[in-house]
């Protein structure tokens, strides 16, 4: 087991899961992914999350992906594994496996078919997941856009504190900055609240974020380092200007479908992660060509990560 511990700070990638053209896992690609992240100053990896299509994989596949990431990244990146599942038993099995392989943390989103009705119910569910990996920091993954569960994260933390001894914090992927600020300040800053919206990182930094998890740190990490450096020097105008430049890329990424576009962008920086899984669809050659032209006009190839 590595010597990494919480809190998560700096840029943490939410890596894509690489697939072969037949849809099977391409675990060999992880070496190149890790090398690119390390070369571009990324400090960690949040594995099998939304960007990693974790919900589209079997439990066994998720375990294999987590094992490979921990094996390759150990001593180089902090590895937190998303273990969220609609089945509590499967989520617990994934969490126990994460501890067994020596990763640095677990995380789960809210169950999204039968949904918790309040913070107490959500805390009870997460407590069961966290208790399967008691030696690891546990992060609740707040992402209402995907789960439909919009329970304030601060309410969750208050309900979870007496139930989850290994509660470390929240991966906060939401636009409710009042809730984010409350989480950061709760109990004198006890919790590690990791910001999850790349397009408003400047806002997160201004409210006390020390770490950020995001998709775009896979392929445009350098400009986010510039944003953080400018903010830390007190040059808010420059931080805002660099955020706007990053957002021009993010708008293209979103417009072309998110993960399918991101996998094309990874190929553009020399890290081929293959196709996406249904119901997501790959871009047609024509759409790829259009996206490349837009990215070039927005300065992507001047600010992108290097493979």
| Per-domain residue ranges of the chain | 10-248
Q: Which of 112, 115, 139, 171 is catalytic?
A: 171
Active site residue 140: no
Contact yes or no for 219/266 (Cβ under 8 A): yes
What are the C-alpha distances in Å from 85 to residues 6, 143, 223, 296?
Answer: 23, 14, 33, 38
Give the pLDDT of residue 3. Answer: 40
Per-residue model confidence as pLDDT tens digits over 181-223: 999 999 999 999 999 999 999 999 999 999 999 999 999 999 9
Coil vs helix vs strand at 134: coil
Stated pTM of the model: 0.95
Structure-block tokens of residue 6: 């919480």
Per-residue model confidence as pLDDT tens digits over 27-57: 999 999 999 999 999 999 999 999 999 999 9
Furthest C-alpha separation in the chain = 54
Which residues have CB under 8 Å from 267's CB, separation 6+? 273
What are the C-alpha distances in Å from 3 to residues 74, 78, 103?
Answer: 9, 9, 10
Side-chain-side CA neighbours of residue 20 (13 Å): 6
pLDDT at residue 6 is higher than 90: no
Give the pLDDT of residue 2. Answer: 37
213 among the known binding-site residues? yes
Assign a CATH topology to domain 10-248.
Answer: TIM Barrel (3.20.20)
Q: Which of 32, 100, 140, 141 is catalytic?
A: 141
51 among the known binding-site residues? yes
Active site residue 100: no
Q: Which long-range contacts (CB under 8 A, 24 or more apart) does 112-118 make?
A: 112/86, 112/146, 112/147, 112/148, 112/149, 113/86, 114/86, 115/147, 115/148, 115/149, 116/149, 116/151, 118/151
């Amino acid at each position: 087991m590595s010597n990494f511990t919480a809190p998560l700070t700096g840029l943490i990638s939410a890596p894509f899961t690489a697939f072969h053209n037949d849809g099977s896992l391409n675990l060999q690609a992880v070496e190149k992914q890790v090398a690119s992240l390390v070369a571009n100053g990324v400090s960690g990896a949040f594995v099998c999350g939304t960007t990693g299509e974790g919900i589209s994989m079997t439990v066994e596949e998720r375990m294999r992906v987590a094992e490979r990431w921990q094996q390759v990244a150990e001593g180089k990146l902090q590895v937190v594994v998303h273990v969220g599942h609609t089945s509590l038993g499967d989520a617990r099995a994934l969490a126990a496996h994460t501890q067994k392989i020596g990763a640095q943390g677990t995380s789960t989103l809210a169950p999204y078919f039968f949904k918790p009705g309040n913070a107490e119910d959500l805390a009870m569910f997460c407590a069961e997941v966290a208790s399967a990996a008691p030696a690891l920091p546990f992060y609740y993954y707040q992402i209402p856009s995907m789960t439909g569960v919009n329970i304030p994260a601060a309410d969750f933390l208050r309900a979870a504190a007496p139930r989850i001894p290994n509660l470390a914090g929240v991966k906060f992927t939401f636009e409710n900055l009042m809730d984010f600020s409350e989480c950061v300040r709760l109990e004198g800053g006890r919790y590690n609240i990791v910001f999850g919206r790349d397009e408003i990182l400047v806002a997160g930094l201004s409210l006390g974020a020390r770490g950020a998890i995001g998709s775009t740190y896979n392929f445009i990490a350098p400009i986010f380092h510039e944003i953080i450096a400018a903010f830390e020097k007190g040059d808010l105008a420059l931080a805002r200007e660099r955020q706007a430049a990053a957002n021009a890329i993010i708008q293209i990424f979103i417009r072309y479908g998110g993960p399918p576009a991101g996998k094309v962008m990874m190929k553009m920086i020399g890290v081929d992660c293959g196709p996406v899984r249904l119901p997501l669809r790959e871009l047609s050659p024509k759409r790829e060509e259009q996206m490349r032209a837009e990215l070039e006009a927005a300065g992507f190839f001047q600010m992108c990560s290097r493979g």
